[in-house]
Amino acid sequence: MKFLLVPFWKRLLKRELPAILFSMLLIISSTQIQLVNAANTNEFHEVHHHIVHRRFKLAAEKARVMATKGHPQAQHVLGILYQNGLGVEKDIKVAIYWLEKAAAQGLKEAENYLGHLYLDGKVVEKDVDKAEKWLLAAAKHGELEAQVHLGLMYVDDRAAKKDIRSAEIWLRAAALRESEEARIALEKIPGVKTFEQKSKESQKAYSDGLYDIKDSWAGYGEIIKSVNEASKGASGSP
């Protein structure tokens, strides 16, 4: 009996050992990823804290380290610091470099930010094609402001190639999310029926497949507010 069991267990181990080792590797890898994510969260919290307390040089130093490692929020923050010359020497080319790095990773706040920079034409040369590209990406990722302004772009042929169908799609998507600006613009489009508030079921049915929602960046508004206030103060604006 012992003679028969030994070969059996050897065969079992030989067959199951790769699966066991693979499972162990997955567990170890998952644990490492969780630890790295936790460390990144803590590091970025420091960046956020420095910005809110107007310690922009420290924020830029910490953000640069994280940005070079591919952290999209840090890349975005570093970009706006370079844009406004806070904690670093003002450099629009470097700012755009980091903003595009963040946007290329699907960070909707960066996509929206870039889209408006190219649409406004104040910081960089106005480029309607790039504005449309980044606003469309942000709109698909669920950025409400991008949905509204993309829709308005498609209505105004001075800003982009006029596309009433696309305008209706994005303005309606924004209006369903209770954007008053989108609702008013939608009702002004010739041939489009007056917008009516729809049920949650209808909203879901309309939105399904329209875009790929990305999580919102908690604390982003606070960062932008601090940067804008500091930038106005530095330029002597009221």
Rounded distance between C-alpha atoms, residue 43 and residue 217, angstroms = 15
**Number of residues written out for the chain:** 238
Task: Please identify every stretch of the chain with a pLDDT value under 50, giving residue numbers as ranges.
Answer: 1-5, 30, 32-39, 237-238
Structure tokens at 151: 């829709």
pTM of the predicted protein model: 0.76
Burial-class residue 153 by CB neighbours within 10 Å (0-12, 13-18, 19+).
Answer: buried
Two domains, one topology: 1-105 and 108-214: yes
Burial-class residue 99 by CB neighbours within 10 Å (0-12, 13-18, 19+).
Answer: buried
Rounded distance between C-alpha atoms, residue 192 and residue 151, angstroms = 14
CA 68 from chain centre, in angstroms, equals: 18
Question: Which CATH number does 1-105 carry?
Answer: 1.25.40.10
Per-residue pLDDT tens digits for 128-165: 999 999 999 999 999 999 999 999 999 887 666 788 88
**Domain 108-214 CATH (choose: 1.25.40.10, 3.40.50.620, 3.40.630.30, 1.10.4010.10):** 1.25.40.10
Per-residue pLDDT tens digits for 63-79: 999 999 999 999 999 99
